Structure 1
């Protein structure tokens, strides 16, 4: 891969990770705030989605870090 492609992949995966992180925060806030007449099933679904988004965010950060290491290795050469 070229350096330009690696730089683009690093920034793309970081952006994906931040978007997933922000979405998980909003979903968590929706769980924490009291809701009148809200069914408990909704809380479980939103907490599950929050967890999945956090796992996705972590995965995107790890992938971004791997591409960053590849970019650093190519720049050393």
Structure 2
């Protein structure tokens, strides 16, 4: 892969990470609101969505790191 392609992928992964972290915060706040302010049975679903979006952010962080190392390897050669 060329460096421009790797840089573009890293930018995309960074956007995915930020978006998923923001989504996780919204899901977590939704969990708090449904748990403490109103009676609802959606706490388990909301916590699952929070964990799922955090897991996605972690996955894309690993992919970003892999691209970063590949870019450094290409630039050092």
Partner of 1:51: 51
Partner of 1:73: 73
> Cα distance, 1:7 vs. partner?
0.3
Q: How many residues align?
A: 75
> Cα distance, 1:23 vs. partner?
0.2
Question: Are 1:21 and 2:21 matched, yes or no?
Answer: yes
In the alignment, the residues of structure 1 paired with residue 32 and residue 40 of structure 2 have an alpha-carbon distance, to the nearest angstrom, of 13
Instruction: Point out where structure 1 has 5 or more consecutive residues left out of the alignment.
Output: none
- Aligned-pair RMSD on alpha carbons? 1.0
User: With structure 2 as the length reference, what TM-score do the two structures score?
Assistant: 0.91
User: With structure 1 as the length reference, what TM-score do the two structures score?
Assistant: 0.91
In the alignment, the residues of structure 2 paired with residue 63 and residue 35 of structure 1 have an alpha-carbon distance, to the nearest angstrom, of 38
